[in-house]
Structure 1
Amino acid sequence: MRGGDLVVRVLKYLVSVAFLALPLAAQADELQEAPAPDAAAPVPSSSDTILVTATRLAIPVDQVPASLTVLDKPAIDRAQDIGVTELLLRTPGISISRNGGYGTTTALRIRGAESEQTVVVIDGVKLNDPSASSGGYNFANLLAGDASRIEVLRGPQSILWGSQAIGGVVNVVTALPAKTLEGSFDVEAGSHETVSARAAIGGKTGPLAWRLGGQAFTTDGISALAPAFGGKEADGYINRNVSGRAVIELAPGISADLRGYYASSQTEIDASTADSLEYSLNREFVGYAGINLDLLDGRFRNRIGYTYTDTDRDNFNPTRARAQTFDAAGHNRRLEYQGAFAIAEGWTLLAGAENERSRFRSASPPAALATPVPAPVRGGADITSFYGQLSAQPIGGLTLNAGLRHDDHDRFGGKWLFAAGGVLNLPTGTVLRASYGEGFKAPTLYQLFSEYGVASLAPERAKGWEAGAEQHLFDDKLVFGATWFQRKTRDQIIFNSCAATSTDALCFVPGNATTRRQGYYANVSRAEAHGIEAAAALKLGSFQLDGNYSWTVAEDRSPGANFGKWLPRRPRDTANGSVSYAWPFGLTTGAAIRWSGKTFDNAANTTVLDAYTLVDLRAEYALSPSLRLIGRVENLFDETYSTAIRYNALGRVFYAGLRGRF
C-alpha cells in the first residue's frame, strides 16, 4: 500500500472514530482527559504516580497487566553505567552475549527469547535493521546518552508493537525540558584509555520546548578474542551520537513534534580464531515528525506521525587487496496514526493504524581486485496494520484490557493477534497481575532475499501468558513480588547448513540447479520458555537495598537430536543485587553484584560457558547542589568470564569523573 493511500484510510478512520466518540462524550456524566497516545510522552518527575509509556499510552504503572521495569533518571545516574545494555542487565529476565568489549556485537534476550524478538524503541520510533540477517537491533552502540527514562515491558507485545515483539519491548525516552533553561553534563575517564563526555541543553519558552544532547565515547578497549585463544592486541571503539527533541504548540490542542537521533561508531573486531585488523563502521539515524491533535477538551487525543530509520554498516580489513569486506544498508519508513479516547471515567480506547515500508541492500566484496564486485542483494516488504485496545476499570482498583491487531504483509497476507490482561490493586497494598499475548515475527528481508534466502518462509508465531503478585508495605518502603511466565514459539527460523553432497533442492541457488550454496533459512525450529522472576526493594531514608532473581528455562522443542536442550547463551539462573547509602555529609556509596549461572554456547549443549559473579563499587560526592564527583570500580575481583565462546570480556576497570545538573 502506498503512503498516500494510507493517509486517506487513516483520515477516514479518524473521522469514523470521532463520530463514534461524540455521542459517547455527550452521555458521560463528566469530562475525562485521555492519556497521551505516545511512547515518548513526557511524564512529570514530581508526581507521586509512576507513569509508563511503553504501552503506547502514558498510564500509571499500577494499571499495566504485563510485567515491567522502569528506570528513571535518578536510577540511571545512580548506576553510572555507560551503555543501556549494562543498565538492563540489572533488571529481571535479561541476559546478553557479547563478542568482546564495548562496541562489539551485543545480543540482548528477554525471558529466553531470541535477541531479534525484542523491539527497541527510541523516542517513540521502533528500531530494527532490515539489512541484518535476523532483522533485530544490535545493542552494541546504544549508550545511555541523554536517556531520561528506560522501560522494559516483558512478554509478547505484538498487539501494540507488531512484528518482533515476542520477547518484549525496551523503550528509551530522552528528556524534554520543564524549565526556561536547563542542562546537564557527564565527563569521565578510566581504564583502557576510556573517555566519555556527554552534554545536553534545552529550555521551555512560551509555546516551544526543545532539547539537544550529544556524547563522545572512546576507548582503546580489550582484545575481542579471549587471551586463552590467542587474543593479544587491543580492539578500540569510538562512538559519537547526538539527539534532539522539539515540541511547539501551534494552537490550543494542536502541536508539532520533531525528534532525531544519530550515532556513528567505529569498532575494531576479531575473528573467533585469531586477532585481526578488521574494523566495522556503523551509522544509525532515527527521525520523527508528528502532529498532535486534542479534541473534545482533551478527551479525544490524536497523533499522526512519520518515522524514518536508516542503518548503514561497512567492514574493512586493511590487509586485503580489496579492503572492504562487507557493505549493508537498511531503512524503514513508517506512517502512523494513534488515538486515545476517554469513553468514561476509567474506560479508555486506544486505536491505531500503521504502514511500514522496509528496504535493504547487502554485499560481501571479494578480496581479489581481479574479481568483480557482484551486484548487491536487494529486497523490500510492506506491512499495513490496524490495532485497537480497550482498557476498563469496572470497579475500583481493577483494570482490565483486551486488544486486537491485524497485520497485512505484502508477502504473507493478513494475520490477526489477540491480547488480554488484568491488574487488581487491593487495599492491603497487594497488586495482582495476569496477561496473555500473541506475537509474530515476519521473516527478515535477508532471510527472504539474500543468497541464503527462501521466499516461501512463514512468519514465526508465539503465545505467552504470565501471572504474578506484588506486595507494597510501609508506604512503599518495602516492595516485593514474583511472576510466573510461559511462552511457546513455533515456525522459528533457523539457518540450515548444506553438505557438499546434499541433494536437497534448497541447497542450490534458486533458478540454478547446478550452483550450490552453503545453506538456507527454514521454518523448522520450535522453542518453549517458562520461569519465575522475583524482585524486592527496601528504602529506609538514605538506605536503599534491592535485588532480583530469574529462573528461565528456555528449551529447544524441535524434533531431533536437540529436543529438550537449552537454547544457546541463555543461563537458567541469574541474580542481581545492589545497596546504597547517602551519608549526611554529601557522600553516597553503593555496591552491586551480578551472578549468572552456567549456560551453553551451542545448540547441542556440548560447549559450556561457566557461571560467573561480578561485583561493582560506586560512589558520588556532592561538591554543590548541581555538581557531583563520581567514581566506580567494575568487576572488582577481576573475574574472568565469557558470554560467547572464544570472546573476551572486561576485567577490573576504574572510572572517575564529574556530573552536572542545572
Structure 2
Amino acid sequence: MNSTFRAAPLALALPLLLSTTALAQPTLPETIVTATRIPTEAERVPAAITVLTRADIEERGYQSLAEALATVPGMNMVQGGGLGQQASVFIRGTASRHVLVLLDGVPVNDASEPNGAFNFGNELLADIERIEVVRGPGSSLYGSGAIGGVINLVTRRAPAGVPVQVFGDLAGGSQGTARGALGAAGSLGGWNYLVVGQGLTTQGSDATPRRITGDTKETESLRAGAGTARFGWAGGTTSIEGMLRWRENRLELDNVPNDDPNYDGNDRRWFGQLRAETGLFDGAWTTGLRAAVTEDRRRYLNLPDGRSSGSTDDLYRGTRQTLDWGNRVRLGDAGPFSAVGLAFGMTHEHESVEANSGSPGFRTTTDASASTTAVHAGIQGRLGPRLDLSAGLRQDVADDYDGFLSWRAGAVLALPEVSSRVRASAGTAFKAPSLYQRFGRIGSFFQGNPNLEAEDSFAWEVGAETDLPLFGRSDGVTASATYFNTRTNNLINFNRSFSSLENIEEASSQGVELGLVVRPVRWLDARLGWTITEARDEVADAPLARRPRNVISAGARIAPTDRLVISPEVLFTGPSPDTASYADSGAFVSGVNYNKSGTVLNLTASYRVTSAITAYAEGRNLGNSRWEPANGFVTPGRSLLVGTRFVF
C-alpha cells in the first residue's frame, strides 16, 4: 500500500490529537438540505460538505460556476480554455459523468450529452444564493449520476418583509470583458417575487498553448445571457411558487490542437418548475408536489476555411421532465432516539434526446426516450446526547435497464470535551446508461447497446474535525481530515471491435482531504485545503486520466476595516495523467502522459462605499501561469475586472 495511505489513520486522528478542552462554539450552526432532504445542522450530517454562500461568491470574485468550484476539497476542475468553454468536474477520482447537478433540488444534467455529464463552464452566478457540494454517493436520495457527489445550485429568494429590493452589478476590464446584472425582489402580504437578468461579453483568450507551433493566437469570445423569474405565495404552512430560468451562451471554439477561425457554438437551456407544499398535523408533516422541465439545445457550426476543408453542423436536443412527491415528517422522540426525522417520496423522470453530429460517413445520431420511476425513504435521529445516525434507501425502476437499489448509512459522534466530531458513512450509487450509450449510432459500423447495465459503486469514508482554542478564541484553529475509498464497477466502454459498448471496466480511488482554517485575529480568516487522490483503472492497471494526485488550495478573508475585504486565493494542481496529449508540433501522442503542475493566483478586493454600494476589483491568474488543466488547452492569462455592486 502507498505510504500516503498507510498514514491515513494518523491524518484522521490528527485533529483529535491536537485538541484540548475548549468551550463549544456559541454561533448557530449552518443548516443543510441537500445531504439528507431534511433541513439539518451541518455538524450532524455524516458527509463531507462544502457550502459557498452569496457573500463567498462576491468577495472571492467568482464569475462562473467553474471558478466557484475550483477550490472545493476533493474536486478537480478541468476547463478547456476561458469563460464559457467546456468544463468538467472530477470528484474524489470518479468520472466527470458521475457528478449530479441540481437546480433548487431538481436534476439538470444534460440528457443530450453522450455520457449524461454536466458542463460547468456555462453557468453565471448572479441569480445563485448558495452552492451546496456533498461529496460521496448520493443515489439513495437523488438517483442516477450521484456516484462522486451532488452539487445543488440554490437560487436567490425574495427578502422577507421588503416590498421592493433592487440589486445589480456592473463591471468591465481586460480581454474586452463587460459584465452586468440587474434584479428586483420583494414580499408583500403573502406574495413574493424575484426577477434577475444577467449578461457577460468577452473577447476571451487563446486556449491553444504557445508551445504548439501551429498556434495563431486567436482568441475565443463569449456572449452569455441568463434570466430568472419567480413568483409565489405563502400563507401559514402552505406555499406555492413557479419559476422560469433561461440561459444562453454564444461562443467561439478551437479544434485541438489548432486554432480554427470560424468554429462557433450556441448552448441554450430552459428550466421551469411549479411547486406546492403544505404542512399537516400542526406542521409535523410537510408534503409537497413539484413538476419541472429542463430543455437543452446545443449547436456547433464550423464551415470550411483556409486551415481546414472540413465542416461541422452538430445539433443536440435533450429534454428532462420531472414529477416529484416529497415528504418530511418530524417524529420527535422515539424510544432512545430524539429529534427523529423521516423523509420519503416518489420521483418520475422522462428523458428524450434528438442528436445529429459528426462528419459524413462518421455521422452520430440518437433519437430515443426513456422513463424512470423511483421510491425513496430516509430516516435520521440522535441516540443519546452525542450520536447522530442516518440511513437512506432508494429503488429506481427503469423502462429499459435493470434499475438499481441504492443505500447510504452514516453516523456522527460529537466529542464536546475536545471540541471535535467524528463521522463515518458508507453507501452505494449508480449511473444509468445514457440514451446515446443505449440507442446511439455512428454511421453503419457502431450501434449502442440497449442491454447495458448501470455503472455502480460502493464507497465509504471516515473523517474528523476539531476546533482548537488558540488566539483567545475557542475556534482559533479548525483542523479536519477525511479518508475516502470508492470502488466503481460495470463501467461502460467500447467493445473490442469498437462496434458497440459493454460493461467491461472497473476503477478504484482512495485519498485524503485535509483542511485547516486559522483565525489569528478578528480581521483575518485563512484556509488551506489539500486533497491527495490515487485513482486507477483496475483493468488496465493504469492511472485514470485527469485525476492529479495532489490539489492544494489556499485562501483568506482579510477585513482590516468594516468597509474593506481582501480575498487572495491560490490553487496548485500537481502533475496530471492524460490520454489525449499533443507534442509541441501538434502531433498526437499516444499512451498515458503527464501534464505539468500549475499554480494560479487570484485576488479580489471589495470596498463598501455606502451601505448600498460596493466597489471591487477582481484579478485572475495574476502570475500569468501558462498551465494546461487539460493537455492542449491553456488556462487564461492575466486579467483584471473592476466594477460595483448595489442593493437598494
* TM-score (norm: length of structure 1): 0.86
State the partner residue of 1:170.
151
Is the counterpart of residue 311 in structure 1 residue 296 in structure 2? yes
How far apart are residue 383 of structure 1 and its match?
A: 0.6
Q: Which amino acid aligns with 1:60?
A: E
* Worse overlay, 175-184 or 442-451: 175-184
Is the counterpart of residue 360 in structure 1 residue 337 in structure 2? no
SS of the aligned residue for 2:500 comes to strand
In 2, distance between residues paired with 1:106 and 1:647? 11
Of the three residues 516, 521, 524, the one matched with 2:504 is: 524
Of the three residues 228, 241, 244, the one matched with 1:257 is: 241
1:577-599 C-alpha deviation (Å, 9 max, x unpaired) = 11232123733223111111001
Q: Taking structure 1 as reference, are residues 47 and 470 closer, same or farther at Cα in structure 2, changes over 3 Å only?
A: closer
Q: Superposed, which structure 2 residues align to 1:416-495 within 5 Å?
A: 416-428=405-417, 429-451=419-441, 452=446, 453-473=448-468, 474-495=473-494
How far apart are residue 435 of structure 1 and its match?
A: 0.6
State the partner residue of 1:575.
552
Q: Superposed, which structure 2 residues align to 1:145-160 within 5 Å?
A: 145-160=126-141
SS of the aligned residue for 1:266 comes to strand
Q: Which amino acid aligns with 1:52?
A: I
How far apart are residue 376 of structure 1 and its match?
A: 5.1
Q: Superposed, which structure 2 residues align to 1:244-283 within 5 Å?
A: 244-249=229-234, 251-276=235-260, 277-283=262-268
State the partner residue of 1:334.
322
Identity of aligned residues (%): 27
How far apart are residue 324 of structure 1 and its match?
A: 5.5
Contact 2:404/2:454 (8 A) holds in 1: no
1:281-319 C-alpha deviation (Å, 9 max, x unpaired) = 111111111110110111000111111111001111233
In 2, distance between residues paired with 1:614 and 1:116? 26
Is the counterpart of residue 211 in structure 1 residue 194 in structure 2? yes
State the partner residue of 1:590.
567
Q: Taking structure 1 as reference, are residues 366 and 598 closer, same or farther at Cα in structure 2, changes over 3 Å only?
A: closer
* Worse overlay, 423-432 or 329-338: 423-432
Contact 1:635/1:652 (8 A) holds in 2: yes
Q: Superposed, which structure 2 residues align to 1:495-644 within 5 Å?
A: 495-496=494-495, 504=497, 507=498, 519-539=499-519, 540-558=521-539, 562-563=540-541, 565-584=542-561, 586-602=563-579, 606-644=592-630
Q: Superposed, which structure 2 residues align to 1:47-58 within 5 Å?
A: 48-55=28-35, 56-58=37-39
SS of the aligned residue for 1:112 comes to coil
State the partner residue of 1:59.
40
Is the counterpart of residue 382 in structure 1 residue 371 in structure 2? yes
State the partner residue of 1:128.
109
State the partner residue of 2:57.
76
In 2, distance between residues paired with 1:440 and 1:617? 39
Contact 2:343/2:378 (8 A) holds in 1: yes
In 2, distance between residues paired with 1:390 and 1:170? 22
Q: Taking structure 1 as reference, are residues 47 and 263 closer, same or farther at Cα in structure 2, changes over 3 Å only?
A: farther
State the partner residue of 1:347.
340
In 2, distance between residues paired with 1:149 and 1:605? 40
How far apart are residue 47 of structure 1 and its match?
A: 8.1
In 2, distance between residues paired with 1:625 and 1:264? 33
- Which structure exhibits the higher relative contact order, with contacts defined as CA atoms closer than 8 Å and separated by 6 or more residues? 2
In 1, distance between residues paired with 2:128 and 2:461? 29
* Worse overlay, 612-621 or 299-308: 612-621
1:354-403 C-alpha deviation (Å, 9 max, x unpaired) = 11010000112757xxx9x9895301111110010110112123210111
Is the counterpart of residue 293 in structure 1 residue 278 in structure 2? yes
Contact 1:125/1:288 (8 A) holds in 2: no
Contact 2:171/2:178 (8 A) holds in 1: yes
Of the three residues 185, 196, 205, the one matched with 2:179 is: 196
How far apart are residue 646 of structure 1 and its match?
A: 1.2
Q: Taking structure 1 as reference, are residues 155 and 202 closer, same or farther at Cα in structure 2, changes over 3 Å only?
A: same
Contact 1:575/1:594 (8 A) holds in 2: yes
Q: Which amino acid aligns with 1:192?
A: Q
SS of the aligned residue for 2:437 comes to helix
* TM-score (norm: length of structure 2): 0.87
Q: Taking structure 1 as reference, are residues 621 and 143 closer, same or farther at Cα in structure 2, changes over 3 Å only?
A: same
Q: Taking structure 1 as reference, are residues 591 and 414 closer, same or farther at Cα in structure 2, changes over 3 Å only?
A: closer
Contact 1:123/1:259 (8 A) holds in 2: no
In 2, distance between residues paired with 1:423 and 1:621? 40
How far apart are residue 636 of structure 1 and its match?
A: 1.5
Q: Taking structure 1 as reference, are residues 272 and 323 closer, same or farther at Cα in structure 2, changes over 3 Å only?
A: closer
SS of the aligned residue for 2:141 comes to helix
How far apart are residue 147 of structure 1 and its match?
A: 1.1
* Worse overlay, 356-365 or 581-590: 581-590
1:190-246 C-alpha deviation (Å, 9 max, x unpaired) = 221011111221001111122111110111111232232223211101110011223
In 2, distance between residues paired with 1:377 and 1:94? 31
In 1, distance between residues paired with 2:514 and 2:181? 34
Contact 2:209/2:626 (8 A) holds in 1: no
SS of the aligned residue for 1:139 comes to coil
SS of the aligned residue for 2:609 comes to strand
Contact 1:225/1:271 (8 A) holds in 2: no
Q: Taking structure 1 as reference, are residues 626 and 86 closer, same or farther at Cα in structure 2, changes over 3 Å only?
A: same
SS of the aligned residue for 1:133 comes to coil
Contact 1:154/1:168 (8 A) holds in 2: yes
Q: Taking structure 1 as reference, are residues 115 and 255 closer, same or farther at Cα in structure 2, changes over 3 Å only?
A: same
In 2, distance between residues paired with 1:170 and 1:375? 30
In 1, distance between residues paired with 2:364 and 2:627? 42
Q: Which amino acid aligns with 2:594?
A: V
How far apart are residue 440 of structure 1 and its match?
A: 0.7
Contact 1:314/1:324 (8 A) holds in 2: no
How far apart are residue 322 of structure 1 and its match?
A: 10
Q: Which runs of 5+ in 2 are unaligned?
A: 1-25, 334-338, 581-589
Contact 2:60/2:603 (8 A) holds in 1: no
Q: Taking structure 1 as reference, are residues 605 and 152 closer, same or farther at Cα in structure 2, changes over 3 Å only?
A: farther
Is the counterpart of residue 161 in structure 1 residue 142 in structure 2? yes
State the partner residue of 1:186.
169
SS of the aligned residue for 1:227 comes to coil
How far apart are residue 61 of structure 1 and its match?
A: 0.6
SS of the aligned residue for 1:160 comes to helix
In 2, distance between residues paired with 1:283 and 1:349? 38
How far apart are residue 615 of structure 1 and its match?
A: 1.4
Q: Taking structure 1 as reference, are residues 410 and 544 closer, same or farther at Cα in structure 2, changes over 3 Å only?
A: same
